[in-house]
Every structure is written in C-alpha cells, then in structure tokens.
Amino acid sequence: MTSPATLIAAFLTLLLLACYAETGKAHPWRGAPASGKPHDRAAWLQGAVAYHRYVAENGGGRHQLWHRRALAWTTRELREAEQDAWRYDHAVPEWPWLALARCEQSGDGWAGVNWQAYSQKYEGAYGFLHSTWRDYRYPGMPASAVDATPREQTLVAIRLRATFGGYSSWPACSRRLGLR
C-alpha cells in the first residue's frame, strides 16, 4: 500500500510537470533549453546547480544524497557549458581570418591579436573604419568593434569580404599573406 506522503509527492511532481509544460520551459529533469546556444545552456545549468546545492544542504531524507550527486554532475556540466560558451564567442577560423587579424593588429590578446585596438580612424583587430563598423555590423552587435568579441569582429570582416569581392579592405596584409 502506498503511503499518503508518497501520493502527495507524486501529485506535486505531476503538478510541477504540468506547469512546466504549460509555460513551455524545460523542467529540471529533462535538460537545458533546446535553443542550441551555449549561453542558454550555461544559464540553465547555473540555476540547476543552485537548486541542487540548496536541496543538498537544506533538504532532508533520502533525496539529499541524490541531490549531492546531481550537484556534482551539474557543476561539472556547468564548467563544460561555460567553456563551450567561451569558445562560441571566440571561435575564429585560423586561416585566413586569424592570420589576417594577427597581421593587422598583433598583440597580447587572445590568439596573439589586439582585439581592442582603437585609434582616431580605426578600431578592432581588422582595423575597421568607425563608419565601416557602424554600417556593416549585424543587428545586436556592439556599437564599437572594441566592445565586440573576436567572433563578431570576424563575422563583420567576412561580410566586408563578401561585399567587396575579396580582401581589398586589408591591402598590405592580404598581399603579405598571399590572399590577393
């Protein structure tokens, strides 16, 4: 025979699942949102870590051990998701874009490039004119190349190459690298 506490727990679990299904959010036992963006997964895992930590430290009974194990697993998953999010922001193809950025603005930044280069006329690792960055950046990108991630700067550089039909925006470095 089932105890009243077990029946109440089952009812509350079903109620919780119904609420999650109604809102369209992923519930804590089914994994992260399916957006495909590592930032969303990392944010979801931060919430899961906080939840499991709370129950492991303040909960009682048989579920406390399970939440301790879940806390260890979600903490490990969170570290991996944060690394994936970092890679997502910084992913730049080695050839020719990283080589071109190193030629234009070598420095102490990520991958030997000064991604925050700024002068009165140029900005960013690819030496964008201020007006070029403003006109060719994608919606949602920072107003200045200095504030953009390496990946965002590279996406704008790829857009410039497609617009002007080659590497003419970087005459000296594209010649030095054999791109023209």
**Overall pTM surpassing 0.85 (yes/no):** no
Domain 94-176 indexed as CATH 1.10.530.10: yes
Determine the pLDDT at residue 90. Answer: 67
Coil, helix or strand for 18?
A: helix
Q: Which of 33, 42, 36, 48 is nearest to 82 (CA)?
A: 42
Residue that the structure tokens 């260890």 belong to: 72
Residue type, 150: P
Where do the structural domains in the chain lie, given as residue ranges? 4-90, 94-176
| Span 32-59, average pLDDT | 71
Count of beta carbons in the 10 Å neighbourhood of residue 92: 20
Q: Give the pair of three-digit tokens for residue 149.
A: 């991630």
Better-scored residue on pLDDT, 37 or 63: 63
Tokens read off for 87: 């890679």
Q: Which residue has the tokens 């509350």?
A: 12
8 Å CB contact between 149 and 90: yes
The per-residue pLDDT for range 153-174, each reduced to its tens digit, is 999 999 999 999 899 999 999 9
